[in-house]
Amino acid sequence: MERVQQEQITVLAKKEIIDVITTMPTGGYAYAVYKFANLSREEVEAMLGVKLEETRVYQEAKQEGREELKLELVPQLLALSMSMEDVGQLLNLTIKQVRLATEQESSTST
């Protein structure tokens, strides 16, 4: 990373290299997370020279968080006497996803 930052290369090429590093496969990603674990988002952004919100890994994590939240809301909405169909429509989930979320909630609470 330091070499990429110091090299006299175009901004586009630098961004592409950094994107490769920040979106590396799981093993490399785990290493990067380990190395950056004690840094704030602002510190990582300054070090990489990019906004993390613009990286694919950030967007994927954000989407995963949204999906997890939807699944966590399923049992609560069903407890409010909403039908599975209404919950699915409200959260943009299939009936199968609603059922799976309900089953997972049942298995973790027992």
Residue ranges of domains in the chain = 1-54, 63-110
User: What local confidence, expressed as pLDDT, does residue 4 receive?
Assistant: 45
If one compares 106 and 28, the residue with the highest pLDDT of the two is 106
Q: Express each pLDDT in 14-26 by its tens digit.
A: 566 566 566 655 5
Helix (H, G, I), strand (E, B) or coil at 37: coil
Q: Is the pLDDT at 76 greater than 70, yes or no?
A: yes
Q: What is the Cα–Cα distance from 91 to 106, expressed in whole angstroms? A: 20
pLDDT band at 64 (very low <50, low <70, confident <90, very high): very high
Count of CA atoms in the C-beta half-sphere (13 A) of 89: 5
